[in-house]
Amino acid sequence: MQRNYAVPAICLAIIFITFSFFISCNNGESSGNNKTTNDDSVTKVIERGKYLAHHVSLCMDCHSQRDFTQFSGPPKAGTEGIGGDFFDNKLDVPGIIYARNITSDTVNGIGKWTDDEIARAITKGISRNGDTLFPLMPYPHYNGMSKDDVYSIIAYLRTLQPNSNKVPERKLMIPMAMAYPPLQSASLESNVKPDVSDMVKYGAYIMNSAACMDCHTPMERGQFVMPKYMAGGRKFDMVSFVVTSPNITPDSATGIGKWSEAMFLEKFKLYRDKASYASNPGKNNSIMPWSMYANMDDFDIKAIYRYLRTIPAVNNHVDKYPL
Ligand code: HEC
Ligand code: HEC
């Protein structure tokens, strides 16, 4: 039987409905939606894009080469955007796919793509040649981002040093059409970033942009198990270590119900100090790129926490590192 990706898609649709609600409550007002004209603004747009690509949406996690001799596999310096990391059946991919070269190299990167072509890949999962991308590339989430945020990421990608790294072709066992999820939004024009004054809605937006769900919601046969939304249990076999994502729902017994906002924030902030990840914990390493998320703004981290308090508590005991 072919794998069916409809369920995660439906769930994403539900998330989208929630987002539409945010939008309708927001009167189109958004702190990040001002059009920019002068050089100063261009610098700000690139800075915003860099922030998202490195610390929220983590393009520079998957699209760089990770160094798992350190805790949480920070990207190896100089490999930002060059691609080459692979994902296979251990991550529920029916075959093997490779993060592609997204530097401005005109042969092996995306140097010849227009901004709109790059935006289409990021938010609709359609490559320049019309191929559908496998949804491990989190475009079903990025599809809910504001147009300004997406184009700021593109502005930042343009500043990456071109690199000629040639990434192998993917090999998939299913026709891609089978895996293509219905998307949250038909057009980026209608996406609005919720105002920061509503921390829960804003937190949902940031968390969607950070694709936390993809690791923290368990998968069975290629489908997210939505009654266990954020309840952990996804096992990652990284060869040198095996780790299972924990339950981050507000359940007090098995989730993070007992964590205060301050504890949650401190957990992320800990990894702002390189000393805290510049060691190899061996079998207790993590696939979660803490070293990158660590530099998310305090406000954005707190907003994620506030949103996570509002999702259903699910009782689901997970051993991160079973013996
Ligand atoms: C979880 C890992 C992951 C993250 C995070 C991720 N990507 Fe990807 N990306 C991939 C993979 C894997 C592919 C190739 C998919 C395939 O071959 O079907 C890809 C493909 C792409 C492509 C298409 C390139 C081409 O040649 O067709 C672009 C552009 C891209 N990603 C940009 C981004 C940007 C920008 C971000 C951040 C907003 C991002 N990606 C975040 C894994 C990721
Ligand atoms: C690439 C997969 C991945 C992504 C993406 C990811 N996580 Fe995790 N996360 C894990 C794994 C695996 C662990 C367990 C190992 C560890 O503690 O690092 C974990 C641990 C945690 C913990 C510690 C919980 C505990 O009980 O110790 C928190 C909190 C957390 N993640 C929140 C988040 C949030 C919020 C996001 C999005 C901003 C996120 N994660 C994105 C895989 C991921």
Residues 43-92 pLDDT 10s = 999 999 999 999 999 999 999 999 999 999 999 999 999 999 999 988 88
Please work out whether the CB of residue 245 comes within 6 Å of at least one atom of ligand 2.
yes
Predicted local distance difference test score (pLDDT) of residue 323: 79
Check residue 177 and give its pLDDT.
Answer: 73
Is pLDDT above 70 for 284? yes
Q: What span, in angstroms and rounded, lies between the C-alpha atoms of 5 and 223?
A: 6
Tokens of 3: 């794998």
Alpha carbon distance 235, 243 (integer Å): 6
Q: Check if the beta carbon of residue 49 is closer than 8 Å to that of residue 262.
A: no
245 pLDDT higher than 80: yes
Return the residue whose CA atom lies nearest to atom 40 of ligand 2.
Answer: 212
1 vs 274: which has the higher pLDDT? 274
- In this structure, is the dihedral angle defined by the CA atoms of residues 197, 272, 208 and 105, taken in order, positive or negative? positive
Say which ligand is closest to the CA of 218. Answer: 2
Confidence bin at 11 (pLDDT 50/70/90): very low
Whether the pLDDT of residue 219 is over 70: the answer is: yes
Q: Which ligand lies nearest the alpha carbon of 112?
A: 1
Atom of ligand 1 nearest to the CA of 118: 29
Range with the poorest average pLDDT among 177-191, 228-242, 261-275: 177-191
Query: What pLDDT is stored for residue 20 in this prediction?
Result: 40
CB 139 within 8 A of CB 127: no
Rounded CA-CA distance 317/310 in Å is 20
Residue-level pLDDT at 37 = 60
What pLDDT score was predicted for residue 9? 42
- With vertex at residue 17, the alpha carbon angle to CA 45 and CA 312, rounded to the nearest 5 degrees, is 100
Ligand 2 centroid to Cα of residue 287, in Å, is 8
pLDDT at 287 over 50: yes
Q: Which residues contact 43 (CB under 8 A, 6 or more apart)?
A: none
- Token look-up 């901004």 returns 115
